C-alpha cells in the first residue's frame, strides 16, 4: 500500500537568486511529488564539501562546493512512488544543453555548473542526503 519513496531535492543558488523556487516547487507538485520536508539554508563551503564528497577527486569539485555555498538554497524531501527515478527524469540531464525539453534543467538551468536543481541518484544516497540535511 505505502510504496512511496523519498528523495532529496535542492533548488540551487542560481535558481533561488532568480526567485524561481515557487515555480520549481509547483513543478514538483504538478508531477505528483509531495514536499514532505523543506527548509531554506545557506551552507558553508565545508558543508558543501561534505555533501559532495563523492566528487572530491573530480576537477570541478572545488568550484562546485564554492558554488553550492555561494548563496541560499532550498533543500526538500520529495515523496512519491519511485521518487528517486522520477525526480531524475523531471530534472533532466546534468548539462542543461543536453536536457530533454520540458525538464527542469532545460527550462531553468544556465550551464552545467549552474543547473538549478540537485536530485539524489539512488534510494541509498537519498537516505544519506536526507539525513545530512534533516537529521537532528
Active site residue 42: no
C-alpha 16/C-alpha 72 separation (Å) is 7
Residue 112 as a binder of ligand UDP (CB under 6 A): the answer is yes
Q: Point out which span in 14-22, 83-91, 104-112, 120-128 binds Mg ion (CB under 5 A).
A: 120-128
Smallest distance, ligand UDP to C-beta of residue 121, A: 5
Classify burial at 30, counting beta carbons within 10 Å of its beta carbon; exposed 0-12, middle 13-18, buried 19 or more.
exposed
Classify burial at 44, counting beta carbons within 10 Å of its beta carbon; exposed 0-12, middle 13-18, buried 19 or more.
exposed
| Longest distance between any two alpha carbons in the chain, whole Å | 44
Q: Which of 118, 119, 126, 130 is catalytic?
A: 118
Smallest distance, Mg ion to C-beta of residue 119, A: 8
Q: Which of 17, 41, 46, 60 binds ligand UDP (CB under 6 A)?
A: 60
Residue 124 as a binder of ligand UDP (CB under 6 A): the answer is no
Which of left, alpha, beta for 66 (phi over 0: left; psi -120 to 50: alpha)? alpha
Name the residues that contact ligand UDP, by CB under 6 A. Answer: 55, 60, 64, 94, 112-113, 115, 118, 121
Supply the residues annotated as catalytic. 118
Amino acid at each position: 500500500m505505502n510504496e512511496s519513496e523519498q528523495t532529496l531535492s535542492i533548488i540551487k543558488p542560481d535558481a533561488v537568486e532568480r526567485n524561481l523556487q515557487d515555480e520549481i516547487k509547483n513543478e514538483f507538485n504538478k508531477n505528483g511529488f509531495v514536499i514532505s520536508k523543506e527548509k531554506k539554508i545557506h551552507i558553508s563551503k565545508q558543508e558543501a564539501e561534505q555533501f559532495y564528497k563523492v566528487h572530491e577527486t573530480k576537477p570541478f569539485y572545488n568550484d562546485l562546493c564554492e558554488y553550492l555555498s555561494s548563496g541560499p538554497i532550498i533543500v526538500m524531501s520529495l515523496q512519491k512512488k519511485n521518487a528517486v527515478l522520477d525526480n531524475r527524469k523531471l530534472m533532466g540531464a546534468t548539462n542543461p544543453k543536453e536536457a530533454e525539453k520540458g525538464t527542469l534543467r532545460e527550462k531553468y538551468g544556465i550551464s552545467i555548473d549552474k543547473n538549478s536543481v540537485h536530485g539524489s541518484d539512488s534510494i541509498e544516497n537519498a537516505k544519506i542526503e536526507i539525513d545530512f540535511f534533516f537529521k537532528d
